[in-house]
Chains A and B, each alone.
Chain A
Amino acid sequence: MIDSHLIACHDCDLLLKPPSLRPGAVACCPRCGATLYREIKHGHERVLAFALAAVVLYLLANCFPIMSLEISGTKVSCTLVGAALALWNQGIQTLSILVMATTVIVPGLQLLILLYLLIPMQLRHMPPYVPELLRTLQLLRPWSMIEVFMLGILVSLSKLAAMAQVIPGIALWSFAVLMFMMTAVFAAFDARRVWRLLPVMQ
């Protein structure tokens, strides 16, 4: 038996009748205060647009140097992958993997999955493996740390400024915009809308 007219709060298990919300409104659990869901104003074409812009920024952010450093005539610049490789070469592979995973691999996978889901859906077609990919997307969410990395760039920028002349690179600006773009993507993406399209086995 399926109770499709009821939901349970994911944080306290309270059974609730979900209210239909005005666009932009948020439903909160009356017992524990958790956010149950929000009614997103716009359709998924907006997410797709944000995601495509994010892909461009993602490529820029990973291909160009984040910043360059100049000490007495010698200039060194560094990309994100370059920084992770430097850690790897120093024998600290675990940290190298952690940095790569949270700033390159996870955000990249998130964007790929979103494009894989949204492009066919815009063409009124449901691609295979939707449940698995939506679940992966949910699982990846806490491990995507572009915004934390951006703060890391700012902190190291000011630390290095005391040591040498620092020149911000293209990737620095790309990361800054990518951070906002990723936030916009996930604020506009409504996984519930995709889940609702899936059939329930009786």
Chain B
Amino acid sequence: MSADQPHINSDADSATAKAPLTAVRAGLLNCHACGLLSRPTAHEAKRCPRCGAHLHSRKPDSITRTWALLAAAFILYIPANLLPVMHTSSILYSEDDTIMSGVIYLWTSGSWPLAILVFCASITVPLAKLIALTTLNWSVQRSSRWKQQERARLYRLVELVGRWSMLDIFVVALMVGLVHFRALATITAGPGAIAFGAVVVITMFAAMTFDPRLIWDPENNQDE
């Protein structure tokens, strides 16, 4: 795959040698839905002249909303990992499985590639995502200029990888759907699964409310 690099508006580039020209500095709004740039009119509600979407130069209350969602996710992360996600009962035994004990079970039963996979999707990804979004939101709040390119890349990674944490929810659903042999063996879902599902959904929303353009906004105020 080849990547062609578009050129920055060259005349504007020389005029503001330090701060790159962004849509906000040029007084333009970028439509988040259809990608049309438009100059907002002063009096009416800002809507995209092509698709009618509400226009915002930045996502509204991005930092506050992201904090709120992250706080909720951090709190739910605790029951998600401590409470059982699955309860197995059979004539011989009955046991509660948490996310971690499910991984350990896979590991000890010899399917260690799957154990590593589930460990990554269910334990590493949610925690790494929470830490990454906290770092991003905090650095943006401080208008930090630290490693902007790396932070932009981190955000794209968070967006890409977050959905894979749903893996454990699907596994629980299938196990519950399949294993109901009356007295022989039955699997039911535990309260941990609800908390875990909530963590996945809430962090996905947190990634959506975070505005990656805020990472670059300190550049706009460079020569002011």
Contact = CB atoms under 8 A, between A and B. Distances in A.
Interface string A140-178: 001001001101111110111011000000000000000
A198 B12 contact: no
Interface residues of B, number: 81
- Considering residues A21, A26, A84, A86, which has the most beta carbons from chain B within 10 angstroms of its beta carbon? A86
Interface in A56-88: 66-67, 69, 71-72, 74, 76-78, 82-87
Contacts of B128: none
Contacts, number: 259
Given A8-B30, A11-B213, A163-B185, A83 B37 contact: no
Interface stretch (A27-35, A44-52, A111-119): A27-35
A180 interface: no
Interface string B22-39: 111010101011111111
Given A15-B12, A151-B167, A76 B7 contact: no
B180 to A, nearest CB: 7
B3 A25 contact: yes
Contacts of B173: 83-84, 86-87, 95-96, 99, 152
A148 B193 contact: no
Contact of B152 (A33, A92, A198): A33
Nearest to A36: B6
Contact of B20 (A14, A18, A86): A14
B42 interface: no
A1 interface: yes
A14 to B, nearest CB: 6
A8 B28 contact: yes
- Considering residues B52, B105, B162, which has the most beta carbons from chain A within 10 angstroms of its beta carbon? B52
A178 to B, nearest CB: 15
Contacts of B201: 98
Interface string B184-201: 110011000110011001
- Considering residues B163, B164, B175, which has the most beta carbons from chain A within 10 angstroms of its beta carbon? B175
A16 B49 CA distance: 20
Given A8-B22, A18-B6, A163-B179, A201 B174 contact: no
Interface of B: 1-9, 12, 20-24, 26, 28, 30, 32-39, 49-53, 105-106, 109, 111, 114, 117-118, 121, 148-149, 152-153, 155-156, 159, 162-164, 166-181, 184-185, 188-189, 193-194, 197-198, 201, 204, 208, 212-213, 215-217
